[in-house]
Every structure is written in C-alpha cells, then in structure tokens.
Amino acid sequence: MSSSIEQTLNQKLEKIFQRLKLDTKFAFVKNSDRPDLSDFQCNGALALAKPLHKNPREIAGNIAALLEQDTDIAAVSVDGPGFINISLDNGFIARIAGSLAGDERFGCKKVEKPHKIVMDFGGPNVAKALHVGHLRSAVIGESIRRIETFVGNTVISDVHFGDWGTPMGMIIAEIIRQDGSLDKVETYDVGAISAFYKQANARCKEDEAAKETARQITADLQNGNPEYRKAWKYLRDVSVADVKKIYAELGAHFDLWLGESDAHAACGEVIELAKDKGVSEVDDGATIIRLPETNKPMPPVILVKSDGGVGYQVTDIATIKMRVNDLKAEEIIYVVDKRQTLHFEQVFQVVQMLGIAPDVKLSHIGFGTVNGADGKPFKTRDGGVMNLADLINLSKEKVRQSMPKPGEVEGYGEPEIEKLVSEIAFGAIKFQDLKNNIGSGYVFELDDFAKFDGKTGPYIQYAIARINSILRKAQAQNLTEGDVIIENADERNLALKLMQFENVVFRAHEEKEPSIIADYAYTLAQNFSNFYNTCPIMTADEVQISASRLKLARLVRDVLKQLLYLLGIEAPEVMLKA
C-alpha cells in the first residue's frame, strides 16, 4: 500500500457516498482546520445540501454514521453547520506510516498527465559578473525544476544567456577605443572583459556619441559583421565558462546553455509573421507592435529598432517560438526578477497575437529583491552591487568561523572541512531565500542565517545528522527496525506530519512555491525533536517500541533529505560545531 492517507480516506468516503447515492465529487477530505478536534475533515455535506434541498447536518450525520463503523476511524463528529470531523485510529496511522517507510516516494503520486516544461532561469549576461540579483533566479529556479521533475513532468532547463543586447556593442566599442582594433581580444580573461564593460558602461552614461557607436556596433554584430562576430564569440565563450563554474557550485542544473543570440534567425521569422498578420507598423524608422491598454499603460513592443537591431523583447518572443517548435514545450516557466513583469506581459501578449504558442502555458514567476539591512537591494559597503561570488565567500567565512579547524576532529582535514563549510553555507543561503514567498523580497541575514537552531537550512541539516548518528548507534547495538506502533501523542503527531508529504509536494508544485516545502521541512524537524525528547529510542521499555521508533526516525531522516533535495540543499552525514 503506497497510496497516501488522503487517497485512502477519499476512497472510504466515496464508497459511503455511493451507498447514500450522493455525488462522489464531494467525497474528499482535507487536513483538519481544528487539529485539536480531529485529524481530517470532510465538508462535502455543505456543498451537497443546496442542490438536494436538505439540511447539511442531516447529510453529514448519515455519512458519519457509516464512517464510524470503519475500524480505521477512531472518532467521527458532525460539527458546526455540517463539517464532518474525522480522527484516525492509531493502528491505521501506524500502518500508513509503515507503508511510507517502505516507499521510495513516501506515498507521493505523480501527476496524471505528465508534460514537457521548459524552464528559463539563471539569465546571466556576457561580461557581467553574477550579482546578488542572480542568486534568487538560480536558487528558486533549481528548486522548482526539481519539484516539477519529482512530480513526473519532463523539465528542460535553459540558462538563456544575455549575449545579444547593447552591452555586447558597448564592450566591443570600448576594446576598439582602447586598443585601436580587436586584434588583442582573444588575450583577455573574464576579469579584463568585465573591466571593459564597466568602463564602457560609465562612458555610455555620460557620452551620447559613445552610446550611439555602441548601438550601431550591436546592430552590425547582429546583422553579421564577421569581425564583430568573431570577437563576440570569444567574449561569450569566456563568460559561459566562468558562469558555468559558479552555477555548478550553486548546484543549479541547466540542460541547455542557449542564449538570446540563438534566437536570431527566429527573430526574422517573428518580424515577418507580424508583418504578414498586419499587426506591426513602422513608427519613426522602427517596426513596432502596439498593444491594447489594460488597466495600466502598455508600451508598444519594438520589433526592429531604427538602427536595424533587435532588442530583448523580440529575442524572447523568438525564443518562445523555438521552444515550442523545436523543443515541443507544453509549458514555459520564467523565473526572473519581478521588475521584469511588464516585459513578460508584453512578450506573452505578442506571442498570443501572433499565434506562436497555441495551448502552451506561459508563466513568469517574479521574485522580489534580496535586500540589505536598510530594506533596499543588497549593496557592498561602498554602495556597489554585491557580487554573487563575494556573497558566497562572506557566507562561507561566517560558517567556517563556527567550525573546528582542520585536524581538530579526527578524519576532518582541510578538504573535508571545506566540503562541509560549502554544504552548510549553501544550505543556509538557499534556505534563507526559499523560506520566503517568492514574490516578496527579504533581508539577507549574515548573523543568524547559519545557526543550528531557528528556521534555517543548517537546523534541518543538523536534524538529519542527529538521526544519522542515532541510526549508527542502533546499528552498533544490532537494533533493527520493526512495525510502527503508535502509543503516545508525539509519535502520533510525527506520523501524521509525515503523511502530509504528498500534499505538501503537490501544493508546492501547483503554486510553484518552494517555501511550502521549506515550512514543512522545518515543522517536521521540530516534530521530530519533540518526539525524540519524549520517546527514547534505544532505551525504550520494550524492544518492539525501540524498533518502531527506529523506523519512524529513519523515515523522518529520509523524508527530510528528500525535502532538502527538492530545495537544492545537501544533507551532510555529520555536522560539526566548534
């Protein structure tokens, strides 16, 4: 039996509804709104009352009377206007918990109709170092990628490199300005390239003519100038190699390393299509599409700029065309800063007007900013944008300070300590991010973010390590797992909590909200802690009780590990404290 508790209860209710000739559409339970009164509730009687012209309490009473005869159910009551409150029998809870322990998906089903999703996250740009703003896209995107894969969908992740916009022309112009030509381009490393970008950026802010040159070079590059293309390819390759390293460290997985530039051919098709459909017009030398205003002003989409270049919007529209035609995407999800909401609204509208992605679900998951203590986007001390690599180093240093030095603990030399530092630091960074609703910003916290108590990643990693240690001790004493027995409230609560796994995963999947998983992991770890305080494992009075608790402990460990995996967080076997 690996079906979830809800499914099992729903089946029981369905049979009863059929016997009573009630519409089985309403034969389902949800977690109780009053956990003090019951474990689950069914509100079906309320929905049925109106069409049947009956008193909901009467319908509920009939259902309850039959449900009461089921030995899996400890108590049923009809409360309020007709809620059916259901409490489960401990033996039943024990059986279900036992079945979860024997199931590698912990009772979690898969989606009924798996489909293909293209996920667009990461979004790095050539020559620009990843900054703190890129953290959320990678962390949230990776978590949603793992959740969607776990529920059975096929996910193709694409980093969508920013490699076709004006910054490219700016860097090339700057190199030509300083070197007199592009001859030396291929001697520059990432650091040198981003220094050129910084200088170009400063220059273009002040100097209209420099900006114009950069714009023209960008257009020429896009239209095939061989010299620019050659330099561009080098700049892009160096940036990709650099960015791959940091994403590997972050544990963000990309199936495709395509960029805006890969959509160039499709851009032409989009522009043609818009002309054929008669939705574009020429305005001041540019080709644009006007969009109907909704409740807010909708600026037009610029298909071709007056200098002949294509911009960020067209590359995105063309990329959708490719993802639908070539990759056969049935859904496309963007995990991109909330400040780009208007951009995606425009892009999706044009896609609809042009009929590029019929029946394809397009969604933009917009995240809030990572802020400093002042509530404004996180900055370095001198007011610049915080580099992602610097932020990671700061976090690691903080964690390193709370750890033993290499050699202080047997078996932990420098590589072992550094591996742990990295796992804990990323656990802390990612959990701090993912415990918040995606849409809201949060303050990046470096003081308590890696504490082993409180709602942190390391708290959960620590809970896992603690259970690992219990399991090692049990093994040393030849204690083996046995059938689950539920005798007291903490065992009962823990087992009931474990049964929510499927529900939690599916809510996180439906709402595209990893914080639901983060919350659950935290409460499950807390429940375990309560359980462990009152329910000794090795020293229980009877060996059957020890064996049952050992099985529960192992199950909690496995579920927590799975939850951390879904958040993109590692679970070290052992945690060390200074």
Measured from the CB atom, the residue of 162 and 514 that comes closer to ligand ARG is 162
Give the residue, chosen from 12, 131, 145, 160, that forms a contact with ligand ARG under the rule CB under 6 A: 160
Is residue 142 within 8 Å of 121, Cβ to Cβ?
A: yes
Going across the sheet that includes 361-367, the strands are 154-158, 116-120, 331-337, 361-367
For residue 401, give Cα distances in angstroms to 237, 372, 540. Answer: 37, 22, 38
- 259 sits near ligand ARG (criterion: CB under 6 A): no
- Reduced to 3 states, what is the DSSP secondary structure of residue 282? strand
Task: Please state the closest distance from residue 190 (CB atom) to ligand ARG, in A.
Answer: 17
**What is the total residue count of the chain?**
578
Q: What is the distance between the alpha carbons of residues 245 and 122, in angstroms, rounded to a whole number? A: 13
Measured from the CB atom, the residue of 334 and 444 that comes closer to ligand ARG is 334
For ligand ARG, the nearest residue by Cβ is 123
Is residue 295 within 8 Å of 345, Cβ to Cβ?
A: no
Task: Please state the closest distance from residue 37 (CB atom) to ligand ARG, in A.
Answer: 48
Task: Please state the closest distance from residue 380 (CB atom) to ligand ARG, in A.
Answer: 19
- Within 10 angstroms of residue 72's Cβ, the number of other Cβ atoms is 16
- Within 10 angstroms of residue 429's Cβ, the number of other Cβ atoms is 27
Measured from the CB atom, the residue of 96 and 267 that comes closer to ligand ARG is 267
- β-strand 442-443 against 370-371: which pairing, if any? parallel
For residue 543, give Cα distances in angstroms to 483, 537, 539, 555. Answer: 11, 9, 9, 18
Give the residue, chosen from 44, 162, 169, 568, that forms a contact with ligand ARG under the rule CB under 6 A: 162
Is residue 365 within 8 Å of 512, Cβ to Cβ?
A: yes
Chain centroid to CA 312: 25
Give the residue, chosen from 39, 142, 316, 502, that forms a contact with ligand ARG under the rule CB under 6 A: 316
Residues 198-227 binding ligand ARG (CB under 6 A) are: none
Total residues contacting ligand ARG by CB under 6 A comes to 8
Task: Please state the closest distance from residue 334 (CB atom) to ligand ARG, in A.
Answer: 6
Task: Please state the closest distance from residue 568 (CB atom) to ligand ARG, in A.
Answer: 19
Strand partners, 78: 84
Q: What is the distance between the alpha carbons of residues 442 and 314, in angstroms, rounded to a whole number? A: 32
Measured from the CB atom, the residue of 123 and 311 that comes closer to ligand ARG is 123
Measured from the CB atom, the residue of 316 and 491 that comes closer to ligand ARG is 316
- 125 sits near ligand ARG (criterion: CB under 6 A): yes
Measured from the CB atom, the residue of 391 and 465 that comes closer to ligand ARG is 391
Taking residues 323 to 362 in sequence order and writing x for each that binds ligand ARG by CB under 6 A, - otherwise, the string is -----------x-x--------------------------
- Within 10 angstroms of residue 374's Cβ, the number of other Cβ atoms is 9
Task: Please state the closest distance from residue 459 (CB atom) to ligand ARG, in A.
Answer: 32
Q: What is the distance between the alpha carbons of residues 378 and 442, in angstroms, rounded to a whole number? A: 10
Residues 373-392 binding ligand ARG (CB under 6 A) are: none
> Taking Cα atoms as reference points, which of 290, 270, 268 lies closest to residue 279?
290
Residues 84-123 binding ligand ARG (CB under 6 A) are: 120, 123
Measured from the CB atom, the residue of 125 and 548 that comes closer to ligand ARG is 125
Taking residues 533 to 572 in sequence order and writing x for each that binds ligand ARG by CB under 6 A, - otherwise, the string is ----------------------------------------
Q: What is the distance between the alpha carbons of residues 100 and 6, in angstroms, rounded to a whole number? A: 13
Q: What is the distance between the alpha carbons of residues 381 and 432, in angstroms, rounded to a whole number? A: 21
Measured from the CB atom, the residue of 160 and 215 that comes closer to ligand ARG is 160
Residues in contact with ligand ARG by CB under 6 A are 120, 123, 125, 160, 162, 316, 334, 336
